[in-house]
Amino acid sequence: MEETKNKNTQVLDIGENYAEKYGFRDPEEYFHKGAKGISHEVVEMISRMKKEPDWMRDFRHKALDIFYAKPMPKWGNTELLNSINFADIYYYIKPIEAQGKSWDDVPEYIKKTFDRLGIPEAERKFLAGVTAQYESEVVYHSFKEDLEKQGVIFLDMDSGLREHEDIVKKYFATVIPPNDNKFAALNSAVWSGGSFIYVPPGLDVKIPLQAYFRINAENMGQFERTLIIADKGSRVHYIEGCTAPVYSTNSLHSAVVELLALEGAYIRYTTIQNWAHNIFNLVTKRAVAHKNATVEWVDGNIGSRLTMKFPAVYLVGEGAKGEILSIAFAGNGQHQDAGAKAIHAAPNTSSRITSKSISKGGGRASYRGLVKVYPHATKSKVSVECDALLIDGASRSDTYPTMEIDADEVRIEHEARVSKVAEEQIFYLTSRGLTEDEARLLIINGFIEPFTKELPMEYAVELNRLIELEMEGSVG
């Protein structure tokens, strides 16, 4: 009885102290807070403060020109996209002067934030290294010595540039150039933070590398930049999760993530993003898989006002494999525009896309996917499966699948399903003593099980909890 009661209070409370539960926020005591808006001066300031080499500074300025020149996307939810006011956003905030070198150096108020996110606990359990992004700068960064000894580089992107300029210069923006799209250009101009990983040839990084991201200042854009290079025959799993605070005005998150899996390498990139409901989450994620390499995106999207995210794999070497597994949860007032891209540019390549979406309370989930097989990519295999679950009649799901198959002997499987939670299923479960809410949640957890079973236990638990909160969050 007690737990039911607690739960009920939680349900009632959620609208009121959501800010405390997830959207807790610290007073803004920033070392440096630039002016709102974007300009060449802001870009110059960012680059100077970071003491970057000239080539990066030039890169930023050129990217800004591209950002100015490019029009807003004319597809997707243009109404929401056009509501973004670029002049009303902070593009760079540095919370403390230097990066905390150890846990002791991290300021108390930031530790408190991490405590509530459960980071130290997570680390105790199985973290190899934690890069937690607080505001634009990475403040805490640690990873196990043995990884370092093996030659694995796991740094925040800024440190990566400082300490391994040669590697960064060789690969940075080679997968996603600034002129790819307007938001990639913006990120290129003002990027800050993100992860930089390099795994040397033949090394199997047994423990997942994890980063925790967090946005704190109101109206602050977070433009992290992640670059992961798995050298020949190496293996790595990178995990990031996000919990963002609640604010009344819009915040912009626009990341760029580039993955390179060299010959025979394996990269898995797992993300669970739980953004506050006013955040615009416009992310460009792309991977290149060379000969016999494998890239897997495991991508979970919860929260945000609008998410546009289509993790891509470019299969450029013979025998390369790509897998994109995603879920999206769209609640009231939210639009999850998520999907995947697989580009087959070599023979015997294979891709598998599994996309699951849940819409509830008038939320909208779109699947947008592109599979392209170039003429010489013969004997390739393509599999696309989209599954949408509607919780109520007010919600919406749509799919925009595109397939351009220009090669012969390609095996294609495509399935798309839209289903509703059946009343009969609910009755079946309630007749066993579950409440209707519990029954619905169990059905939803079952629906996304193919996704959660790919997550480390801790993340699976958190995801289920987040969805439980989302389900409780709105009544009717």
**Site residues (vs another protein, CB under 8 A):** 1-4, 422-425, 427-436, 438, 442-443, 445-450
Q: What is the smallest separation between the CB atom of 365 and another protein, expressed in angstroms?
A: 18
Measured from the CB atom, the residue of 51 and 432 that comes closer to another protein is 432
CA max distance for the chain:
68
CB of 275 to another protein, least distance (A): 25
Distance between CA atoms of residues 213 and 133, nearest Å: 5
* CB-count exposure of residue 383 (10 Å: 0-12, 13-18, 19+): middle
- The residue among 66 and 390 lying less far from another protein, judged by its C-beta, is 390
Closest CA to 339 of 310, 302, 365: 310
Q: How far is the CB of 79 from another protein (least distance, A)?
A: 35
For another protein, which is the closer residue by CB, 433 or 476? 433
109 vs 428 by CB, closer to another protein: 428
DSSP for 402-443, written as a single string? EEEE-SSS-EEEEEEEEEE--HHHHHHHHTTT--HHHHHHHH
State the Cα–Cα distance between residues 449 and 357, nearest whole angstrom: 12
Question: Residue 411 Cβ, how far from another protein at the closest point, in Å?
Answer: 24
In the complex with another protein, which residue's Cβ is closer, 149 or 453? 453
Q: Which is nearer to another protein, 184 or 328 (CB)?
A: 328
Look at phi and psi of residue 141 and say left if phi exceeds 0, alpha if psi is from -120 to 50, else beta: beta
Look at the alpha carbons of 406, 323, 390, 77 in this order and tell me if their dihedral is positive or negative.
negative
214 Cα distance to chain centroid: 12
DSSP 8-state code for residue 179: G
CA angle (36, 37, 41) in 5-degree steps: 105
3-state secondary structure of 173: coil
Token duo for residue 60: 């930023």
146 Cβ neighbours under 8 A, 6+ residues apart = none
Smallest gap from Cβ 446 to another protein, in A, equals 3
Helix/strand/coil for 335: strand
Minimum CB separation of residue 423 from another protein in Å reads 6
Closest separation in Å from C-beta 444 to another protein: 9
Min CB(445)–another protein separation in Å? 7
Please report how close the Cβ of residue 449 comes to another protein at its closest, in angstroms: 3
Minimum distance from CB of 443 to another protein (Å)? 6
Query: Among 219, 57, 209, which residue's Cα sits nearest to residue 147?
Result: 209
Nearer to another protein, 133 or 357 (CB): 357
Sign of CA dihedral 264, 168, 370, 387: positive
360: Cα within 13 Å, side-chain hemisphere: 22
Nearer to another protein by Cβ, of 289 and 429: the residue is: 429
Q: Looking at beta carbons only, is 159 or 425 nearer to another protein? A: 425
Q: Which is nearer to another protein, 204 or 449 (CB)?
A: 449
